[in-house]
Structure formats: structure tokens, C-alpha cells
């Protein structure tokens, strides 16, 4: 996976936030973040939240972390499953 070209992955952060009727300001407050600009960057895909914030967001939005980043999750699932299949062929 290290050699793969960096790909933009859309996320469902904005949709999840709006479904909970929250403003970016509300999310920043609940996560202990001083500025809403960080929330905006996550939502527009400029950067990705760290693992702690992904879990905080999933708790706040009442959804699973993989639902927030579904395309990334599915790509990683395929990658791991393909490698596992290759491994089982090699090791018998």
C-alpha cells in the first residue's frame, strides 16, 4: 500500500453533521477543537482527522467510523482481502 498514489477519498462528514442538525461550530466545541476551520478542512477533504477524532466524530454523529469514510474503507478492505487471498495461496 505504501507505493500507491495518494488518492482523494470523499467522505460523509458534512452529511452526518447535517443529519444531526449541528453546525461546524458545535462539532468543534464537542471535540474540543478551537477553530471551525479544522472541521471544514475535514469535510472538504483537504485533510483527514486523526484516529481519535474519527472516533469522536462517529460517537457524535452516532454512526460507525467506516460509514464516515466509506470509499476509503472499501478500498482498504479490498486491499487487505486481496493480500490475504494471495497469502493463503502462497502458504497453502
DSSP for 15-50 reads HHHHHTT--HHHHHHHHT-S-HHHHHHHHHTSS---
**pLDDT tens per residue, range 37-52:** 999 999 999 999 999 9
Q: Please report the domains of the chain, with CATH numbers, ordered by start residue.
A: 13-91 (1.10.260.40)
Helix (H) or strand (E) holding 50: none
Give the pLDDT score at 3.
53
**pLDDT, average across residues 58-87:** 97
Q: What angle do CA 46, 49, 33 make, to 5 degrees?
A: 100
Amino acid at each position: 500500500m505504501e507505493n500507491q498514489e495518494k488518492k482523494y477519498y470523499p467522505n460523509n462528514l458534512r452529511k452526518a453533521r447535517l443529519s444531526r442538525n449541528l453546525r461546524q461550530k458545535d462539532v468543534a466545541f464537542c471535540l474540543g477543537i478551537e477553530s471551525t476551520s479544522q472541521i471544514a478542512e475535514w469535510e472538504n477533504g483537504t485533510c483527514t482527522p486523526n484516529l481519535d477524532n474519527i472516533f469522536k466524530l462517529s460517537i457524535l454523529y452516532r454512526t460507525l467510523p467506516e460509514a464516515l469514510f466509506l470509499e476509503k474503507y472499501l478500498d482498504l478492505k479490498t486491499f487487505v482481502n486481496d493480500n490475504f487471498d494471495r497469502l493463503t495461496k502462497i502458504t497453502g
